[in-house]
A = this chain, B = another copy of it.
Amino acid sequence: MSDNQERTEINTLGEFGLIDHLTSPIVPHNPSTLVGVGDDAGVIDNGEFVSLVSTDMLVEGIHFDLMYTPLKHLGYKAVTTNLSDIYAMNGIPKQITFSMALSNRFSVEALEQLYAGIHAACDRYKVDLIGGDTTSSTSGLVISVTAIGQGEKEKLTYRNGAKVGDLICLTGDYGAAYLGLQLLEREKQIYLSNPDIQPDLEGQSYPVGRQLKPEARKDIIEEFAKNKLVPTSMIDVSDGISSELHHLCKASNVGAFLEESGVPIHPEVEMLSIQFNLDPITCALSGGEDYELLFTIDPNDIEKVKYTPGIYIAGEIVDAKDGIKLHTKGGNIHELPSQGWTHFKKEA
């Protein structure tokens, strides 16, 4: 029963534009609602502590391909990618809910595998499964995970806290999950064209592992607590450094100057990107699914991160009018595009 009204296509707004459009008029009803839509997690005031709530939906054929994704890894990844959002607020995840819609092509044994992955992630990150919903699907598998965490109000790291002069820090390395996906897709195509050929993933365990079984940076949050460091802002890197840095700068109303030489890339990623005829830095900036942390610190706090393994200083927050720029190894200064992979390739 559609009306004969005007029709605006969703893709004219994009995911974030759409969410802004649909949720912009919200005025909270409850004083306990500290932060609503727009950060890594919603924030609820409980007095002494705050609760952090983050949720993701994963759709077969969009976010995962069961041809090369073992169900156990899928369950694990569905949990860890949500926990990553709680850590990105400088909080500790404590509970999750797990819901799924599935068709009868899944057996009980298949679901046991999926849940084995969920339980493994819960054990590793010390979170508890406290609910969910299981229902039928007319076609593929759909998963929805909600993570609930705990934080201290004055130690939360929002996207909007970056100040001019702050240092931009990155954890881990970038581009591996994206290249892992390219590898798996390539082997899938080879297999589909000739099922006798076995997948050749020899020596590629790092990028494939980063794609199929990502971890959340619990260790970094624990390091912050130990060093009494509270970043001025933080975001988790799920859509590539470029996109996340743009989100953070927009929320904080600042610009950024990012050093290409400061963006960590794993040696296997360097080699593999050449195989795929891709620029490693492009994979690192726009690849996505790294689930690392991008954060900013007051320059006076530099001693607290300088000698921490796995944390890299990669640039500086600048005035909004100076834009968001990349200083390449070759000495050039570019605009850093805000879009994901597709758009970046077009503009590059």
Q: Interface on A for B, CB 8 Å cutoff?
A: 1-2, 5-13, 15, 18-19, 21-23, 25-26, 28-30, 32-33, 35-37, 41-44, 46-49, 51, 53-63, 66-68, 70, 94-95, 97, 99-102, 104, 106-112, 115, 119, 122-123, 126-140, 142, 144, 146, 148, 150
Contact = CB atoms under 8 A, between A and B. Distances in A.
27 contacts: A1-B67, A1-B70, A12-B108, A19-B134, A25-B119, A26-B128, A26-B129, A29-B128, A32-B94, A32-B95, A32-B150, A33-B130, A44-B148, A47-B47, A53-B95, A53-B146, A53-B148, A55-B131, A57-B100, A57-B135, A57-B142, A59-B138, A62-B136, A62-B138, A97-B146, A137-B142, A146-B146
Given A47-B48, A62-B101, A111-B18, A131 B8 contact: no
A99 B109 CA distance: 28
Contacts of A61: 138
Contacts of A18: 108, 111, 134
Contact of A108 (B13, B47, B135): B13
The copy count of this chain in the complex is 2
A49 B46 contact: yes
Give chain A's interface secondary structure class.
Answer: mixed
Given A18-B111, A146-B146, A53 B131 contact: yes
Given A32-B150, A57-B144, A62-B138, 7 more contacts: A36-B129, A37-B132, A53-B95, A55-B131, A57-B99, A62-B101, A137-B142
